[in-house]
Amino acid sequence: MADLGVIALLLGMVLSIYSVVGSIVGEKKGMAELVVSARRAMYMTLLSAAVASGVLINAFVQNDFSVKYVADHSNTLMDRAFVWVAFYAGNEGSLLYILLILTILSALSIWFAPKRLARSMPWTIAILAVIQLFYFGVLSFFASPFELLDTIPVDGRGINPLLTHPGMFSHPPLLMGGLISITIPFAFASGALIAGSYGDDWIDVARVSAILSWGVLGTGMLLGAWWAYTILGWGGYWAWDPIENVALMPWLVLTAFIHSIMVQKRRGMFRMWNVALLNIAFVLAQLGMFINRGGPVVSVHSFAASTLGVIFMVFMFVSLIFAFGLFLWRMPRLKSDRAMESFLSRESAFLVNNFLFLAVMAVTLWGVLFPLFSDLARDVSVSVAAPYFDRANGPVLLGIVVMMGIGPLLPWRKASARSLKQWFVWPLLAGVVTVGILLAVGVQRPIAILAFGVLAFVATSISEEWWRGTAARHRSGDNWVMAWWRLVNGNRPRHGGYIVHLSILMLGLGIIGTNFYQQRTDGALELGESLVIDNYRIEYVDNGDSSRPDRIAQWAEMTVYRIDEDDYTVEIDAARAEGASGFTLADSTARPNDIYLGQIEPWHGFYPDFNMASVRSGIRSTVLEDLYVIPRDFLADGRVSLAVSINPLAWWLWASGPFFIIGTMIALWPQASVERRRTREPVQHEPVIGHEPGSGGGKT
């Protein structure tokens, strides 16, 4: 069966070459039949990638350890459910998965491409085919997942322990799929430039495919944060790790593009800027492939280290030269239809918003590349830690949230004093009141208080827009729920964007709470002892263990109580005098006001074959805070070593995910026409996702 996979990859490479040559020659020579044939060859590359993927998956299912990749990433003890994870657990399989997604997306985008793009489609197909050819070639000659072993082992090594987590069924494939999907809008924009189509015919396809990439990447990053929070055992969810950053950077640029493409669609502006943004996003996606699959940096996420760095680096630089060479060639023809009329306009706000996104991207890019430059230039290995990113990016990210509230409130072209007063009064008042309340109740950390005020400002701006629109429909006879739904359904891109904005605010709540107000302590407990932190008492009541050929697992049963500080005055005063945030109790006898909250079972596993430990943190989560217990180790004397933290507002990090997905889906849902308002509103708003407001969608 492995031979079938090899043949499928070679056939896919031949089909890609034919598609490139056929598209270009057919277009140049006016041979329509050859162009059609080249397009059909692109469809056949999907079949080749699917066959190769099916062969590899079947090898995992059959425990075919004659295939080196299967032997390296599975064994007979592996749960069959993890076959899907094992498929992309290593470098070769992940590249095959990327190729499969690319061929699927290429075929779909070509099939559904509107007829008005007929002039540029041969060039778009050629670009897609070249990128497919690269992956087919790498898999065929440099990183074959079908390499056979001379000696067939009785059992395989097994899957990486860190991948045996529910989040791994979706986090890696979403990140890889999101990065490679950026190829689609880039190919359509570049194809139009090569063909000499300087208008806006390509922007609808680019907008939809860019939002799809953006949504997939965003969801993948959030799932990755959840995975890190529950399994890595360091108590956090985002460490500015290089692999996290290479997904974040193109996501930031795509966010800027989704904003600015609305200006091009509505006002005929920012054509040059939008092409540049797509180019940057595409090159950053290639950087992500280089770092993630080429293995030049050390990362907890780099499960697929390899020696392919040079190949991916060359491809990245070729992509850079092609993208911006084409851009510079066609730049004189990409002028806007009109100039900016006022700084107090939505166009201006979106441009400022774009600069802020690119600033965060640039800061992050420097943090990713600096260790590489240092290693090459001085032969000194350095690392850029989270404090650099937090301090450099934190203020800019807060500025982005501010603009998220300001931009949609401004009208196109020019704002009047009356419109500014009408739309900004309530959001500003909400922000000021929030800051005042937090100061009055004694909340500390001025930066965090300011950030909470900004979140209130943005939330109120969204609420005000929904209130006005819903009230207008309610006055026309709809009940309140139906009025709101018809408002949202009437202009899905616009209001789907508002829902995404809400998800970003929820994410902001979690980030502020966990970064500014987290409490930590640690300790080693014997059975019957307790650890106290803040108003929690954690009692170690029992333990258990199990052994399997691939791992040794241990877990602790712990009971959680909410305490009254008055019952522990002596111990709390002693801990504070020592500067400690928690303390242990040898006597776990319940005190009068202890309230039972439930049990948690932190788990610790050691995998000898990988010389690696894996944990499952014990988490008790509420809307206000998480109690987070990490089992660092089970000691020989029977004690368990714990790291315990209270993570305020962490629940909101994960609650933001469904809102993000729902908002993106609503924004992408097909719609024949945008909202037809029953009553005239003074200002039309645009959120992150969407296109022009109003009923006609024409330029003004």
Q: What are 271's strand-pairing partners?
A: none
| Type and span of the H or E element at 372 | helix 346-378
pLDDT value at 689 more than 60: no
- Give the single-character DSSP code of 167: G
Maximum Cα interatomic distance, the chain, rounded to a whole number of Å = 90
Give me the numbers of helices (H) and strands (E) for the chain, helices first please.
20, 11
Closest CA to 689 of 154, 121, 258: 258
Report, as an integer, the average pLDDT of 348-353: 88
Is the Cβ–Cβ distance between 51 and 4 less than 8 Å? yes
pLDDT value at 107 more than 70: yes
The reported pLDDT for the residue numbered 306 is 59
Q: Cα separation of 103 and 128, whole Å?
A: 9
Q: Cα separation of 144 and 382, whole Å?
A: 33
Burial of 365 (0-12, 13-18, 19+ CB in 10 A): middle
Is the Cβ–Cβ distance between 260 and 687 less than 8 Å? no
The reported pLDDT for the residue numbered 671 is 62
Q: What would the pLDDT profile of 649-680 be if each residue is shown by its tens digit? A: 999 999 999 999 999 999 888 765 443 433 33
- Give the single-character DSSP code of 148: B
Q: Cα separation of 140 and 124, whole Å?
A: 24
Region label for 270, one of left (φ > 0), alpha (ψ between -120 and 50) or beta (otherwise):
left
The reported pLDDT for the residue numbered 491 is 81
Q: What would the pLDDT profile of 57-104 be if each residue is shown by its tens digit? A: 999 999 999 999 999 999 888 888 888 888 988 889 999 999 999 999
Mean pLDDT of the chain: 87
The reported pLDDT for the residue numbered 680 is 39
The top-scoring range by mean pLDDT among 173-187, 281-295, 478-492 is 173-187
Q: Cα separation of 684 and 410, whole Å?
A: 8
The reported pLDDT for the residue numbered 475 is 86
Q: Cα separation of 440 and 454, whole Å?
A: 17
Of the two residues 200 and 178, the one the predictor is more confident about is 178
Q: Residue 421 corresponds to which tokens in the numbers above?
A: 């007063």
pLDDT-above-90 percentage for the chain: 57
| Predicted confidence band of residue 178 (pLDDT cuts 50, 70, 90) | very high
pLDDT value at 569 more than 70: yes
CA distances from 588 to 204, 410, 561, 584, 644 (A): 64, 60, 11, 9, 18
Of the two residues 102 and 2, the one the predictor is more confident about is 102
Q: Residue 102 corresponds to which tokens in the numbers above?
A: 């690319």
The top-scoring range by mean pLDDT among 132-141, 378-387, 631-640 is 132-141
Say whether 67 sits in a helix, a strand or coil: strand
Of the two residues 650 and 494, the one the predictor is more confident about is 650
Q: What would the pLDDT profile of 361-374 be if each residue is shown by its tens digit? A: 999 999 988 887 77
Is the Cβ–Cβ distance between 574 and 583 less than 8 Å? yes
Is the Cβ–Cβ distance between 473 and 487 less than 8 Å? yes
In single-letter form, the type of residue at position 446 comes to P
The reported pLDDT for the residue numbered 414 is 77
What does DSSP say about strands 603-607 and 551-562: parallel, antiparallel, or unpaired?
antiparallel
Burial of 258 (0-12, 13-18, 19+ CB in 10 A): buried
Burial of 148 (0-12, 13-18, 19+ CB in 10 A): middle
Q: Residue 87 corresponds to which tokens in the numbers above?
A: 């498929």
| Predicted confidence band of residue 493 (pLDDT cuts 50, 70, 90) | confident
Q: What would the pLDDT profile of 311-340 be if each residue is shown by its tens digit? A: 998 999 999 999 999 999 998 888 776 777
In single-letter form, the type of residue at position 639 comes to R
Q: Cα separation of 81 and 159, whole Å?
A: 12
pLDDT value at 558 more than 50: yes
Q: Domain residues of the chain, as ranges?
A: 1-164, 520-648
Is the Cβ–Cβ distance between 290 and 320 less than 8 Å? no
Is the Cβ–Cβ distance between 184 and 132 less than 8 Å? no
pLDDT value at 40 more than 90: yes
The reported pLDDT for the residue numbered 295 is 55
Q: What would the pLDDT profile of 129-173 be if each residue is shown by its tens digit? A: 999 999 999 999 999 999 999 999 988 888 888 888 788 888 889
pLDDT value at 694 more than 70: no
